Structure 1
Amino acid sequence: MSLAGLVLVLCAAVCHATWNFFVKRVGGGAELIWLFSLVTVVIYLPLPVWILVTQDPDLSLWPVIFIIGSVLLHLGYFLILQIGYRHGDLSLVYPIARSTGPLLSSTFAVVFLGEIITVQMAAGALLIVFGVLMLTGGIRPGARHVTLSLLFGLATGTFIGSYTAWDAYAVSVLLVPPIILDYSSSLGRVLLLSPMARRKWHEIGRHWAEHRKEVILIALFNPLAYILVLYALTFTPVAFVAPTREVSVLLSVLAGSILLKEGQLGRRLGWAVIILTGMGVLLTA
Structure 2
Amino acid sequence: MTPLVATAVLTAAVTHAGWNAIAHRITDKLVGFTLISGGGLLIGLAAVPFTGFPAAGAWPYLLASSAIHIAYYALLMQSFRLGDFGQAYPIARGTAPLLVTVIAAVFAHEVPDGWAAAGIVLSCAGLTGVALWGLRGRRPNWPAIGAALATGLTIAVYTVVDGIGVRASGSPLAYIAWLMAVQGAVIPAYALYRLRGELPGLLRPFARIGLLGAAMSVAAYALVLWAQTKAELAPIAALRESSIIVGAAIGAVVFKERFGLPRVAAAGLLVVGIGLMLRSG
2:139 matched to which residue of 1? Answer: 143
The CA RMSD over aligned residues, in Å, is 2.6
Mark the CA change 1:251 to 1:67 in structure 2 (over 3 Å): closer, same or farther: same
1:186 matched to which residue of 2? Answer: 180
Question: How is 1:1-12 mapped onto 2 (pairs within 5 angstroms)?
Answer: 1-12=1-12
Mark the CA change 1:95 to 1:18 in structure 2 (over 3 Å): closer, same or farther: closer
- The answer to whether the 8 Å contact 2:31/2:203 transfers is no
Mark the CA change 1:27 to 1:203 in structure 2 (over 3 Å): closer, same or farther: farther
What's the offset of the Cα at 1:161?
0.8
- The answer to whether the 8 Å contact 1:134/1:271 transfers is yes
- Aligned pair 1:113/2:108, yes or no? yes
1:40 matched to which residue of 2? Answer: 40
Counting matched residue pairs gives 278
- Aligned pair 1:177/2:136, yes or no? no
What's the offset of the Cα at 1:118?
2.3
TM-score by length of 2: 0.87
Opposite residue 63 of structure 1, the aligned amino acid is A
Q: List alignment gaps of at least 5 residues for structure 1.
A: none
Mark the CA change 1:17 to 1:138 in structure 2 (over 3 Å): closer, same or farther: closer
Distance in 2 (CA, whole Å) between partners of 1:88 and 1:256 is 12
Query: Which of the numbers 151, 159, 165 marks the counterpart of 1:156?
Result: 151
Please list the CA deviations of residues 137-171 of structure 1 after superposition, one character each: whole Å capped at 9, or x if unmatched: 3555843443x445433322211111001101011
Query: Comparing 96-105 with 18-27, which one deviates more in the overlay?
Result: 18-27
1:123 matched to which residue of 2? Answer: 118
Query: Comparing 213-222 with 273-282, which one deviates more in the overlay?
Result: 273-282
- The answer to whether the 8 Å contact 2:39/2:211 transfers is yes
Mark the CA change 1:261 to 1:154 in structure 2 (over 3 Å): closer, same or farther: closer
1:74 matched to which residue of 2? Answer: 69
What's the offset of the Cα at 1:38?
1.7
- Aligned pair 1:276/2:233, yes or no? no
- Aligned pair 1:210/2:200, yes or no? no
Distance in 1 (CA, whole Å) between partners of 2:209 and 2:110 is 39
TM-score by length of 1: 0.86
Question: How is 1:253-264 mapped onto 2 (pairs within 5 angstroms)?
Answer: 253-264=248-259
Secondary structure in structure 1 of the residue aligned to 2:125: helix
Opposite residue 2 of structure 1, the aligned amino acid is T
Opposite residue 7 of structure 1, the aligned amino acid is T
Mark the CA change 1:63 to 1:257 in structure 2 (over 3 Å): closer, same or farther: same
Mark the CA change 1:77 to 1:141 in structure 2 (over 3 Å): closer, same or farther: same
What's the offset of the Cα at 1:92?
5.8
Distance in 1 (CA, whole Å) between partners of 2:26 and 2:141 is 26
- The answer to whether the 8 Å contact 1:74/1:163 transfers is yes
1:252 matched to which residue of 2? Answer: 247
Question: How is 1:78-93 mapped onto 2 (pairs within 5 angstroms)?
Answer: 78-86=73-81, 93=88
Opposite residue 240 of structure 1, the aligned amino acid is P
Mark the CA change 1:143 to 1:118 in structure 2 (over 3 Å): closer, same or farther: farther
What's the offset of the Cα at 1:281?
2.2
Distance in 2 (CA, whole Å) between partners of 1:189 and 1:57 is 15
What's the offset of the Cα at 1:87?
5.4
Opposite residue 74 of structure 2, the aligned amino acid is L
Distance in 1 (CA, whole Å) between partners of 2:206 and 2:116 is 42
Mark the CA change 1:228 to 1:243 in structure 2 (over 3 Å): closer, same or farther: same
Secondary structure in structure 2 of the residue aligned to 1:211: helix
What's the offset of the Cα at 1:71?
0.3
2:22 matched to which residue of 1? Answer: 22
- The answer to whether the 8 Å contact 1:35/1:204 transfers is no
- The answer to whether the 8 Å contact 1:168/1:238 transfers is yes
Secondary structure in structure 2 of the residue aligned to 1:284: helix
Opposite residue 41 of structure 1, the aligned amino acid is L
